[in-house]
Chain A
Amino acid sequence: MAQLLPQRYKIDFQQKLPELNTVAGDAYAVRGDSPTGAKVYAVVHSKAFPGRPEIIAHQRKNPMPNLANVIDRGVIDFSTGHDETVERMVSIIEKPAGKPLASGTTCVRMSEKELKENFLKPALVLLANMHGRDLIHRAISPYWIFTADKDNESITFGECATASPGADQPDLFEPIERLLIPFFARGRASAAADIYALGMTAFCLYIGEVPDLGEDPDKSFHERISRGTYWLISSGRNTPTSMETFFKGVLTDDAEERWTLNDIAQWLDGSSNIKRARKLNVLFARPVKYQGSNYTDRRLLVKKFAENPEKAAAYLRSSEFSLWVAQFLSNEAFSDRMESLLNVQMSDGFDGDPIVDQAMVTRVSAFLDPYGPLHYRGLTLSYDAIPEFLAVCYQENDLEGISKVEDLLGSGLYDVLIEIVGTSNYTAHKSAGMISRKIGAVKNNKVGQGLERFLYEIRPDLPCLSGHFKGVWVSDLTSIILAMENILQDKKRARTILDPHVAAYLAVKMDMFNRLFLTHSGMGFPDGQKAANFVEIFGALQLELNLGPLPNLAKAFAESLKTMVRSLKLEERRDKVAKQLMEIADSGEIGRLLTELQIGQLKKLDDREFAAAKMRYTALEAEKKRLSLGVKASDPRALLEGYRWISYVAFIILGLAGFAVFS
């Protein structure tokens, strides 16, 4: 299907562009230019990373300066190389002219002037444009910024629309609060994350290399926290005061203290007195001793808690929590409301229910480090990356991950966590509004609801991740109906076609399905009158979307309708309608199954005629029964009829006698 994109662009699948690959998919060359004359390349998406629709929508309407914009999208038939062709979403992206600014630990070196003129100023233009539209790039690093010419005088930022936010970022370019999180669950974050990545990129360009913090992300996390990121990467280097001011400003680990685009612009204009208030409150009033170590930084203790929530729960329950807070967080107000939200009950040991204990540790962790990620039952993810995380879980069939997210959202823990972190965590607070509005579906176990419904409600751009659609990219009603038609070549699959993904997807895409699913159970098409309701909608969609004949779907619906036909009592009518049903199904016109046969009306007529026939049969049976009893001379009827007829005979005899006597 959808060969329109290949008609517009000649994608050369033999020519891979590995330097432009993202976690979302592989890059391929495109022969010729785009209709606008720009050089372009193609990224073939993997299913769980359909991209960032909010950015793509903006780029297609109004491309952004100094950025490789996505200019077109479409679904193509893609050969996986194993004699298999699958449908994939392809993004056509403006191709940067030059090479990346960094490779390995080597990076293009820029002087202060070059950095300001050739990097920071174009970067500011781009980020001002993006942030002004409430878009965050989340893929700024020297590996993903390209020279637009040989002299490095102009640059192009790599595209940021195909992968999940921050998914391709090396750890060094991620702010501390987004570290140690699976790459697909780092979250959209705020403008401050872009500023940090910009600052780190600028630092790399200034020193001509990418600082190596070692292979162990745990260790670099600890070092960045204990020493501060800037101090860690700048130690042993001589940086002029003006540049140091800039780097300290943009690389501070406190997102609230970090410079903004305006601060950078002021600095570029020569101002040197830019100060922002430090707000991040990450230290304990006094060191907390936990499992033999002293913790002064809350983030490190939270991380330790997350490593073993059971032990953390036992530790938290071992003393009066309000006293613990007073002892270690003496400079913070601890309201009764917060105490009740955290709900830490003192006891000698485990609560007995590990999930309850783990939820308690999650709440306390959110309280101690509201800026950091969410830790729950071994999961670590950003508050604003739940849908992306869930999409990957579904795509990879990670049942454990799915179950944990379901528990997190369905148990109400998520809402409590959002109240605990409050407005401290801007991105959590921002994403919570949308998630909370859709969370009701998670607790609903009806067909078309559940976690799948939540996912497609919150990420309507996602393709349907049903296991039925392994090689198909289902992105709208048209494609899901065509995919269902294809799947139903195997008739047995009709029994499971409405799996939770398909049902949820249909319900999200069309409210009428939502209403139908309210009374439906099971994963197959329903029978009888409910089937008729489905047929009505699918028939209307077939015409409206101009889908052409759909014989497999029509046959599946015909099978569902057969229960209605089987309920017709007049055999002749039943056989005739069944035959017509299959003939219409062969034509593939779903709507005709109802409009032409009028099964509902036939059923009513059949019922009426059957009732009349049954009444007639019963009356005959009763009469036969009565007649079968035999007639005796003593029966009233025999007496009456006998006397009556004989009385006629007697009077005839009388008449004859009279005639004989008097004539």
Chain B
Amino acid sequence: MAQKQAPPPQQGKQEEKKSSAVMALMLTGFIGAAFVYRPALVMVMMAGLIPTFAAWLTDAHKLRDLRVRIIFAFNVAGILPYADEVGSGDSGFNQAIELVTNLETYMVIYSFAAMGSFVVFIAPFVAAFFLQIMANSRIAVINSQQNSLLDKWGNQLKGEGKDDGDKKK
């Protein structure tokens, strides 16, 4: 596995900005779509997406957008069941008000968001576990390739110049 090189600082910042723009676009787009679909839903969403907005504003991690994206996905998944309950027209607004004033709604929606945060917390550990497995596997392959090279060229390949090509012991 080839080692991925860290992007140059300038390029990193650009990607960060680009990622933030994508996130902002996603949020705006999502809320915009909700507004077109059922304007009253926007009210529920504004209240339900507070964890995402909070995460977006407070997270100082350099992978903030990815982290926020995960929280956002879970957050939205918590909102979706209520989206269907909010109807269109004036009744919709009433239903929306009812929902945003109901504690249970918040508990459900924020539980999803909390689940997202939890996933954000454990994701690196899970990734590290799998990456370690992959690294071990790669090390075995590398050893095999190196042994093959040493068999062919001898220990001088390791920089032991005076052994005149003695094979790897």
Contacts and interface: CB of A to CB of B under 8 A. Distances in A.
A43 B63 CA distance: 107
- Size bracket of the A interface: 35 or more
Interface in B72-116: 73-74, 76-77, 80-81, 83-84, 116
Contacts of A623: 1, 3, 138, 142
Given A633-B125, A633-B127, A643-B123, A627 B138 contact: yes
- Size bracket of the B interface: 35 or more
Contact of B142 (A571, A620, A651, A654): A620
Contact of A571 (B126, B143, B167): B167
B18 interface: no
Interface stretch (A344-352, A548-556, A608-616): A608-616
B132 interface: yes
B46 interface: no
Nearest to B127: A642
B74 to A, nearest CB: 6
A644 B63 CA distance: 10
A7 interface: no
B139 A627 contact: yes
A646 B119 contact: yes
Main secondary structure on B side of the interface with A: helix
Nearest to A637: B131
Interface in B124-169: 124-129, 131-132, 135-136, 138-139, 142-143, 145-146, 149-150, 152-154, 156-158, 164-165, 167
Given A621-B146, A633-B125, A654-B73, A571 B154 contact: yes
Contacts of B73: 647, 650-651, 653-654
Contacts of A636: 6
A641 interface: yes
A654 B120 CA distance: 15
B77 A657 contact: yes
A653 B74 contact: yes
B70 interface: yes
B70 A647 contact: yes
Nearest to A635: B128
A574 interface: yes
B77 A653 contact: yes
Nearest to B135: A627
A398 B69 CA distance: 102
Contacts of A651: 69, 73
Interface in A617-663: 617, 620-621, 623-624, 626-628, 630-647, 649-651, 653-654, 657-658, 661-662
A633 B124 CA distance: 5
Contacts of A639: 63, 123-124, 127
Given A566-B164, A571-B152, A630-B132, A640 B146 contact: no
Given A613-B153, A631-B135, A620 B67 contact: no
A613 B157 CA distance: 8
A570 interface: yes
Contact of A646 (B123, B131, B145, B157): B123
A569 interface: yes
A572 interface: yes
A640 B67 CA distance: 10
A181 B145 CA distance: 82
A53 to B, nearest CB: 52
Contacts of A633: 124-125, 127-128
A661 B153 contact: no
B124 A569 contact: no
Nearest to A574: B165
A642 B123 contact: yes
Contacts of B126: 642, 646
Nearest to B82: A661
Interface string B1-17: 10110100000000000
B149 A613 contact: yes
A567 to B, nearest CB: 8
B24 interface: no
Nearest to B67: A643
B66 interface: yes
Given A643-B70, A650-B119, A653-B74, A624 B139 contact: yes
Given A571-B153, A571-B154, A661-B80, A643 B120 contact: yes
Contact of B124 (A574, A621, A634, A658): A634
Contacts of B63: 639-640, 643
A570 B73 CA distance: 58
B152 A637 contact: no
Given A613-B149, A624-B142, A642 B124 contact: yes
Contact of A638 (B84, B124, B136): B124
Contact of B74 (A613, A617, A621, A650): A650
B81 A572 contact: no
Contacts of A635: 124, 128, 131
A593 to B, nearest CB: 21
B37 to A, nearest CB: 11
Contacts of B154: 569, 571
Interface in A8-54: none
Contacts of A570: 152-153, 165
Contacts of B70: 643, 646-647, 650
Contacts of B127: 633, 637-639, 641-643, 645
A568 B156 CA distance: 11
Contacts of A616: 145, 149
A657 B74 CA distance: 10
Given A572-B152, A624-B142, A617 B119 contact: no
B153 A645 contact: no
A658 B81 CA distance: 8
A640 B135 CA distance: 16
A583 B167 CA distance: 25
Contacts of A566: 164
A645 B123 CA distance: 8
Contacts of A626: 3
A640 B69 CA distance: 13
A38 B166 CA distance: 73
Given A620-B142, A632-B128, 10 more contacts: A571-B154, A610-B157, A621-B146, A627-B135, A633-B127, A639-B127, A641-B131, A650-B77, A654-B73, A658-B77
26 contacts: A568-B165, A569-B153, A571-B152, A571-B154, A574-B165, A613-B152, A613-B153, A617-B157, A620-B149, A623-B3, A623-B138, A632-B128, A637-B131, A638-B131, A639-B127, A640-B63, A640-B66, A643-B63, A643-B123, A645-B123, A646-B120, A646-B126, A650-B116, A651-B73, A653-B74, A658-B80
Please give me the 8 A-B residue pairs with the lowest Cβ-Cβ distance, nearest first: A642-B127, A650-B73, A642-B123, A643-B66, A633-B124, A638-B128, A646-B123, A627-B135
Interface of B: 1, 3-4, 6, 63, 66-67, 69-70, 73-74, 76-77, 80-81, 83-84, 116, 119-120, 123-129, 131-132, 135-136, 138-139, 142-143, 145-146, 149-150, 152-154, 156-158, 164-165, 167
